[in-house]
Each structure stands twice: as C-alpha cells, then as structure tokens.
Amino acid sequence: MESYLGIVVIVVVVALLAAGGLFLLFRPGGRAAPPMEPPKAPPLPEEEREAPSGSTAVGEEATTTVPPPTVPVQAPPVVVPEIEIPPPSAGRMVRLRARLARSQNALGRGLLDLLSRDRLDDDVWDEIEEVLITADVGVSPTRSMVEDLRTQVKVLGSRTPEEVRALLRKELLTQINPDMDRTLHTTPHGERPAVVLVVGVNGTGKTTTTGKLARALIGDGKKVVLGAADTFRAAAADQLQTWGERVGADVVRGPEGGDPASVAFDATARGIEEKADVVIVDTAGRLHTKTGLMDELGKVKRVIEKKATVDEVLLVLDATTGQNGMRQAQVFAEVVDVTGIALTKLDGTAKGGIVISVQRELGVPVKLVGLGEGPDDLAPFDPEVFVDALLGE
Ligand SMILES: Nc1nc2c(ncn2[C@@H]2O[C@H](COP(=O)(O)OP(=O)(O)OP(=O)(O)O)[C@@H](O)[C@H]2O)c(=O)[nH]1
C-alpha cells in the first residue's frame, strides 16, 4: 500500500513539473529559444555561387567530375585607341637643337678654340684637320674647308672671337649648301597620293623614321596611309601598325615573308581609295647581294608606278655608323634613285660632320634628321639651325 502511494506521489510531481515547463514555454509574450544556425559563410562573388568547378557529384563515381558551370562570358570592354594629334613639323629643329650637344662639343667648340689661337701654325691646322676628320666631315670636304679657312684667316689678320665664329659659320654653311632643295615632295597629284619610299639597312631606324614621318605629315594636316613592305621582319610590320594606330593612319601589311611589291601595290591602291595625300612605304633593306636588293627595290618601285608616282626615295642612314654606314648608303644609292636622306640618331653622336660627307658622297640633300627616340623627334633639316647649334648659339 505504501509503495502504491509513493508511485502516486511521483506521478503527481512529474505531472506538475511538466505543466510548469509547458507554462514557461507558451506563456503570453514568451519566445521559444532560437534554433541554432550554422555559422554563415562569407558571401561569394556572383560567379562563384555556382558549384565549384570539377566538384564530385553526390551519388556518382568518385572519378566522375561535373563539368565546370557555364559562367556567362562578359565581352571585354571595347578599347578605342585614342588618336593622337601630333604637332606640326615646322620649328622642330629649333626645339631639338640642344640634342646636338655632343657634336657641338666635339666639332663646333673644338674648331672655335683652335681658330681663336693667336698663332695658327701648321700644327694647329693639322689639329683643325683632325677635328674635322674625327667628326666624319670626310677627307675631301675637310681639305677644302681647311684651305678656305687658311685663306680667309690670312685676309683677316688678327681675329676677334666674333670674327672667328662668323668665319666658321660661313664655311660650314658653304659645305652644307643651304641652296639644296630639301623639300619633301608630298603633294598629291590630283586623285593620286604622293608616294614616299623609305629604304635603308635594317637597324638604321628605318621603320621608326617611317612612323615618325607619318606623324609629322599628319601634324601638318595630311592624310597618310602606311605600307609595311618590310615583310622580312614581322616585327617591323607590327611596329608600323602601332605607329599608324596612334595617329589614325591606315597600315597595309602582307603575310610574313610575302612579296614586298604586292604590299606596296596594295598600299598605293588603298591610298587612292581613301583619297590620302601621302603613302609611305617602308621596305626591307636586306643587303645580301646588290643584285637582290636592286631586284627587290626595282620591283617595288615599278609596281607602285602602275598606280602612282614615287615622289621621294628616302634613304635612312644612322649617323653613328660612320664610314661603314656610308658604304652601305652608297650601295642603296647605286640601286635606286635616292632623292633625300633621313639622318637618324644625330643626337647620339659627336660626328655631326656626316651631314657634310653624306651629301657630298651621294649628291643628295639631307632632308630629315632624327634627334631622339621620342615620336616627334624627327625634324626637317635646317642647315642654319644646325650650324648655329654646332657653334653654340
Ligand atoms: N636616339 C635616337 N634613337 C633613334 C633615332 N631613330 C631611331 N632611334 C632608335 O633606334 C632604335 C633602333 O631602331 P632600329 O633598330 O633601327 O629599329 P627600326 O626603326 O625598326 O629599324 P629597322 O630595323 O630598319 O626597321 C630604336 O629604339 C629607335 O627608337 C634617333 O634619331 N635618335
């Protein structure tokens, strides 16, 4: 009987505890304990919210992988290259004349110092001759200069520094010959553009000069088409393409190792089609054999002439290569009628006298000079500015 009463008491106590618990849980205004949430992973960027690529699918063989989700490919933004507006070519040589400092020190100052000495004996004249030869003036122009200077110094007698400078200025100008026609012929002929053929040994700065020239002409308000007929070197065509894109000039190119004449023809045709003022054709200057070069350049020129006139054959010559460069230039001058010289890297040499010797040797004027690596560092050659820069004015 006692054990029966005990069981009843336990049942009553349990029932009371249960009722209290229920009351606590569901009392008015009360809240159930929040369920435990798993910790939140940091939010993924949009494209990563899909299943990771290559993840194993549930219920599949462990070796089977799910193909990567197709992530919508966003088209890259269209980058429209900014077209540059290059400055006009006029006055560039004045702007760049300080770049002739090395020639000024070696040639201009050297001569001024020697000619200012009180006594000009044979030793001094030998030194003057040496300065001229070292600056690449060339043997025969040096002789004629020394002779002229000797005569004039005798006439002058005692010399003031101003007189020496004036004397030297006059003599250098005579040697450079300011009367030569240095105009770059780029005027179109009615419907047909003018054509400039750029020739020279690779490495002289030929492609760079072609690109710089295009900029200068565009700066002067002309419409230009470029022909990358140096098909021998793919990099040359790429380089030209970049130059063209920067200034909005069309570049016609062919397959690597293709026929340069066909590129020249296409470029001329494009020039006519687009009503361009000038077509500039960059050629490969492989000097493997003289006949090979003659055949190649001859063909390029003939093919252009089916559609237009070749107005300029511009020979690019590296001023730092001295007599070696001069010999190569002579080969080009023998195979094609050069009408002008573009003398590059004149900023990097003390041998400014090459202006005199190259004109004398080839009988054609220096029309353009390269005075730096910048895109607008190509200037129409101005003899007076050049001589004044040499003499430090
Ligand atoms: N300082 C200076 N550097 C120049 C001048 N002209 C060209 N160069 C540089 O000379 C370097 C060599 O040029 P090149 O190897 O001749 O290259 P390129 O112009 O493609 O010539 P090609 O091989 O004939 O096509 C380049 O870095 C040019 O920027 C110049 O007038 N002055």
Which H helix or E strand runs over 194? strand 194-199
The pLDDT assigned to 49 comes to 38
Using a 6 Å cutoff on CB, does residue 171 contact ligand 1?
no
Report CA Rg, the chain: 40
User: What distance in Å separates the CA atoms of residue 94 and residue 389, rounded to the nearest whole number?
Assistant: 9
Ligand-binding site membership of 29 (annotated): no
Using a 6 Å cutoff on CB, does residue 320 contact ligand 1?
no
ipTM: 0.93
Of ligand 1's listed atoms, the one at least distance from the Cα of 212 is: 6
Q: Whose CA is closest to 345, among 367, 307, 314, 378?
A: 378
Nearest CA to ligand 1 atom 27: 373
Using a 6 Å cutoff on CB, does residue 348 contact ligand 1?
yes
CATH (one of 3.20.20.70, 3.40.50.300, 1.10.260.40, 3.40.630.10) for 194-338: 3.40.50.300
Ligand-binding site membership of 143 (annotated): no
pLDDT along the chain (393 residues), means of 10: 50 48 39 37 38 36 53 71 89 95 94 92 96 95 95 88 93 96 97 96 93 98 97 91 96 94 98 98 82 89 97 96 89 93 96 96 97 97 97 87
Nearest CA to ligand 1 atom 3: 373
Q: Whose CA is closest to 359, among 326, 382, 337, 335?
A: 326
Which H helix or E strand runs over 252? strand 250-253
User: What distance in Å separates the CA atoms of residue 268 and residue 193, rounded to the nearest whole number?
Assistant: 8
Average pLDDT, the chain: 84
CA of 207 to the centre of ligand 1 (A): 7
Which residues make Cβ contacts (< 8 Å) with residue 176, sequence separation at least 6? 355, 356, 359, 383, 386, 387
Using a 6 Å cutoff on CB, does residue 373 contact ligand 1?
yes
CA of 240 to the centre of ligand 1 (A): 12
The pLDDT assigned to 80 comes to 65
Of ligand 1's listed atoms, the one at least distance from the Cα of 235 is: 20
Nearest CA to ligand 1 atom 7: 205
Ligand 1 pocket mutation, candidates 373, 376, 381, criterion most atoms within 8 A of CB:
373
Ligand-binding site membership of 284 (annotated): yes
CA distances from 235 to 100, 210, 264, 374 (A): 30, 14, 17, 19
- Give the CA count within 13 Å in the CB-facing half-sphere of 59: 0
Ligand-binding site membership of 282 (annotated): yes
Ligand 1 pocket mutation, candidates 92, 208, 366, criterion most atoms within 8 A of CB:
208
CA of 211 to the centre of ligand 1 (A): 11
Nearest CA to ligand 1 atom 12: 205
Q: Per DSSP, what are the bridge partners of residue 258? A: none
CA of 10 to the centre of ligand 1 (A): 106
CA distances from 116 to 113, 147, 152, 308 (A): 5, 17, 13, 54
The pLDDT assigned to 72 comes to 67
CB 368 within 8 A of CB 380: yes
CA of 309 to the centre of ligand 1 (A): 28
CA distances from 331 to 30, 41, 287, 288 (A): 105, 76, 9, 11
* pLDDT one-digit tens code per residue, 186-211: 999 999 999 999 999 888 999 999 99
Using a 6 Å cutoff on CB, does residue 344 contact ligand 1?
yes
Which residues make Cβ contacts (< 8 Å) with residue 116, sequence separation at least 6? 159, 161, 164
Which residues make Cβ contacts (< 8 Å) with residue 169, sequence separation at least 6? 387, 388, 391
The pLDDT assigned to 294 comes to 84
CB 217 within 8 A of CB 277: yes
Ligand-binding site membership of 201 (annotated): yes
